[in-house]
Amino acid sequence: MGNSVVNSSESAGRRHWIAPSVLAADFGHLAEEVEKINASEAELLHVDVMDGVFVPNISFGFPIMKTLRTYSKKPLDVHLMITHPEKYVERFCDAGAWSVGFHLEAVDDPAPVLALIRAKGVRTCLTINPDIDVKRLEPWLGEVDMVLLMSVFAGFGGQSFIPESIERVRHIRRCIDERGLGTLLEVDGGIHTKNAQAVFDAGADVLVAGSAVFGAKDPLAAIRAMKAE
């Protein structure tokens, strides 16, 4: 996977990437919020798109994506919480996504949707909610650039990390390593400075953090603290 756009932070062969979720940003000052992340050690900017159907909440779509593309120096990691992702993935690719992810449980067959993203030269990601058996991800680990394990139920920022997620992260890490794959493992929901290390230790490569970054007095320090070995 070409990571040239990412400031790879790897220690002892393991990545410790942080992807701040813009969902928790102050939308009245979106450009300034993005500038803060530009100045930080974060590798990605996580973009949560909700349609009010797949999840009981609506966030934002293409106009905000355009603003993010304009201001962000960090690659955009798009997390689609929508039904019928096949209708929209290409537009998110064209809007400048670095990766486009959608939920396995939102589709009958992920393969054609992944193919649409791949055909645009964009990284693919498959995501599952905490109530979906992790085994359902296994056949896809070699087919995608990244998998995203939700550690809260998709739909809202600011929820508490579900402790059972740690075992799910360990399981997927084992599967990736046993098969010698380079697939990135991302974890999303309820991540903060106090639990980040445990989630990295369980095998995550990328941690999404919304409120822990944008709700912090010093977002740059919060990001640094989460990355700390």
Interaction of residue 219 with ligand DX5, rule CB under 6 A: no
Per partner kind, with CB cut-offs from 5 to 8 A, the member of Zn ion, ligand DX5, none near residue 155 is ligand DX5
Give the tokens for residue 108.
């009958």
Quote the CA–CA distance of 79 and 222 in Å, as a whole number: 22
For 61-99, the DSSP string reads: -HHHHHHHHHH--SPEEEEEE-S-GGGTHHHHHHTTEEE
Phi then psi for 52, rounded to 5 degrees?
A: 75, 5
48 catalytic? Reply is: yes
Phi then psi for 210, rounded to 5 degrees?
A: -100, -80
Binding mask 137-176 for ligand DX5 (x = CB under 6 A): ---------------x-xxxxxx-----------------
Contacting ligand DX5 within 63-82 (CB under 6 A): 79, 81
If the CB atoms of residues 181 and 198 are measured against ligand DX5, the closer one turns out to be 198
Interaction of residue 191 with ligand DX5, rule CB under 6 A: yes
Size of the site for ligand DX5 (CB under 6 A): 23
- With beta carbons less than 8 A apart as the criterion, state whether 160 and 189 touch: no
Interface residues with Zn ion (CB under 5 A) are 48, 79, 188
* Residues classed as catalytic: 48, 188
